[in-house]
Amino acid sequence: MAEFDYVMMLVSIIIGLALTHILSNLAQAIPAMAKKEQALRPHPAFAFWCGYVFTYLISFWWFEYEWSTLNVVWDFKLYLS
């Protein structure tokens, strides 16, 4: 594996954990909203924020994956710059 593969593996794990956190919290919120006695209604800002963060994480991963076409020697300092 090249250096870029190691960097992208770490980034992919972090993004995967973030997506799992978002989706698991949504999965917990849906049954709470479905109960008749509570009658919770999601705020539009909550739905927008969840959709935005989900889309941002996928776009960020795809953007970084496109860096694989660069012919540079990867290190952590280059990745942060």
Contacts of 57 (CB under 8 A, 6+ apart): 15, 18, 19, 22
CB 33 within 8 A of CB 42: yes
pTM (whole model) above 0.85: no
CA distance 1 to 77: 19
Q: What is the pLDDT of residue 37?
A: 61
Domain total in the chain? 1
Q: What is the pLDDT of residue 56?
A: 93
Q: What are the pLDDT digits (tens) for 21-32?
A: 988 988 887 777
Q: 55 lies in which domain range?
A: 3-80
Q: What is the pLDDT of residue 80?
A: 76
Is pLDDT above 90 for 64?
no
